[in-house]
Structure 1
């Protein structure tokens, strides 16, 4: 929907019918290509290529089903993935193990993706007609502020042990997930 709004006047210059649909198709194709690229890279360099190559597709299928059935479930799964990823990051920091660091990065990235999916879905549901692009841009501004987290972790690295910082962040992610669950169950009543 936001591609259509951004492609049409007054936000975009595409006056010809079908431009928004073609642009949406392009982004969808790019998404499909990214999945194939991830699977081929795993098949080439990861252990057990006949198994690991299918992991991204299985995960995305599970996420799609979750998102279709339970909007709040998407956010809760995202916060759970972030919390587990931060716990793995704490282990990686405590043991200086880069393999666990990569696993942590994948988990945190997956959680981020789920949380963004939830956030954009909620923005689309809350936006009044004609305000979707404006509210979506505000959402992205707030989401991009999260990219300052590594800088904050670096500032805290002097007085605190890195593993302790990751553990505290995991606790915050868990508390946020619980809060979203409670708010979602109240809204469902």
Structure 2
């Protein structure tokens, strides 16, 4: 009898939903549907960041430090076009096709890394493909989750739910990929193959999940694509005064935490280099997930409070990194990674909320992509520091970076309460 009653309830729900659609009433999709998109973002984040703790492994295999840091550069080169072009394409053709492509390419990138013979070309190719997948996922996935976190798909979500959910999905993927890959490479057999094969397996159910997610109808613009790539809202004074100075330090912070710090601690960590690099990555991104509730409370439509707190944390973290570059304390680096992880996460949410308040429906995906492209430029910081280390110490270089973070903080402080969108504009985009 219990099963009959449950079956009848399900049948009534389906019939009611069908009648609503026949009458032209948007069907109220369960709030869990955004999770299908989040799984795809999680998968692409996993594939994009699983390489980070493996940097130590490639150094042990004899790759020069500059080459290993350049592998991150190949990733960024793939990320940027994915970020800038995927948004306008998804506006025209829908979010789902682009996210399916991103999830499939993420698995393909790992397959290339696992199956290709050892060599720089295979690493560059796999990292480039992983970057393309992450670029598409961050732009299209963030916009899609934003749309599914509001009417007609979900009535109860607050205005900032979309940004927080996208941030958690990406950060959880970044952290999980790094943790699993690092542990497998340190203690499991086939360290250059098995970590990548696991991500291929993860991609399969995520691909199925994202194909089931509902999507708003595409706009289907008839104007040339290049006209949409040029985002009009990028000239907004609020974007230039708050989001732009914040953006590079989002991934610049994590780059220092788990790309620069492990390299500086090599002499202290010995054969535990890979496990230590994994620990720093997990601490950085785990802290990022943990501070999400704080990011929610800090966000304010009347000021740039969250952005200021984020930049303050990044500044403290970079200064501490500069001091530890001389001290070379592995445990101090772990504490610094937590500070930088908190700054990264709050900055990511703060920037996305600024973008979502600035952009109209036409520019949401495009401006989100541009913002992420600017933020991913921070991943080039470890490569720049490695090249500059030939003429200056890491302590001096990190102090210079701290000075740049401080300048960004002052710019955001000056513009904190300026050019705030009016209430009607905020309601429109929220």
Q: Report whether the alignment pairs 1:61 with 2:144.
A: no
Aligned to 1:50: none
The structure-2 alpha-carbon separation of the partners of 1:165 and 1:74, relative to structure 1 and needing over 3 Å to count, comes to same
1:106 aligns with 2:351: no
**Equivalent in the alignment of 1:174:** 406
| Alignment partner of 1:128 is 2:211 | no
More off after superposition, 109-118 vs 89-98 = 109-118
Tell me how far apart the structure 2 counterparts of residues 142 and 56 of structure 1 sit (CA, whole Å): 20
Contact kept in structure 2, 1:8 and 1:20, CA below 8 Å: no
Q: CA deviation at 1:104?
A: 1.9
What SS does the aligned partner of 2:390 have?
Answer: coil
Distance 2:352 2:413 in 1: 18
The match for 1:10 is 93
Task: Tell me, in whole angstroms, the C-alpha distance in 1 between the residues paired with 2:335 and 2:415.
Answer: 30
Q: Which residue of 2 aligns with 1:159?
A: 391
2:113 matched residue in structure 1: none
* Kept in 1: contact 2:295–2:349 (CA 8 A): no
- Counterpart check, 1:141 vs 2:353: no
Partner Cα separation in structure 2 for residue 184 and residue 143 of structure 1: 19
Question: How far has the Cα of 1:129 moved from its partner?
Answer: 2.1
Change (3 A) 1:106 1:120: same
Runs of at least 5 residues in structure 2 that lack an aligned partner in the other structure: 1-33, 38-86, 98-146, 154-160, 177-286, 421-430
Which residue does 2:326 correspond to in 1? 94
Unaligned runs of 5+ in 1: 39-54
* Alignment: residue pair count: 163
- Rounded Cα–Cα distance in structure 2 between residues aligned with 1:131 and 1:177: 26
2: distance between equivalents of 1:13 and 1:58? 29
**Aligned counterpart, 2:217:** none
Residue number in structure 1 paired with 2:202? none
The 8 Å contact of residues 299 and 306 in structure 2, kept in 1 or not, is answered as yes
Task: Give the 3-state SS of the residue equivalent to 2:304 in structure 1.
Answer: helix
Deviation at residue 66 of structure 1 after TM alignment: 0.8
Is the CA contact 2:167–2:349 (under 8 Å) kept in the aligned structure 1?
no
Does the 8 Å contact 1:7/1:20 carry over to 2?
Answer: no
* In 2: Cα distance, 1:181 partner to 1:29 partner: 26
The runs of at least 4 consecutive aligned structure 1 residues that moved more than 6 Å come to 5-9, 55-58
1:75 Cα deviation (Å)? 0.7
Q: Secondary structure at the match of 2:402?
A: helix
Cα distance in 2, alignment partners of residues 130 and 187 from structure 1: 20
Cα distance in 2 between the residues matched to 1:94 and 1:105: 16
**1:86 and 1:169 in contact (8 A); partners too:** yes
Q: Does 1:118 align with 2:350?
A: yes
Distance 1:73 1:94 in 2: 33
RMSD: 3.8
What residue number does 2:196 align with? none
TM-score between both structures, scaled by the size of structure 1: 0.69
CA distance in 2, matches of 1:81, 1:70: 21
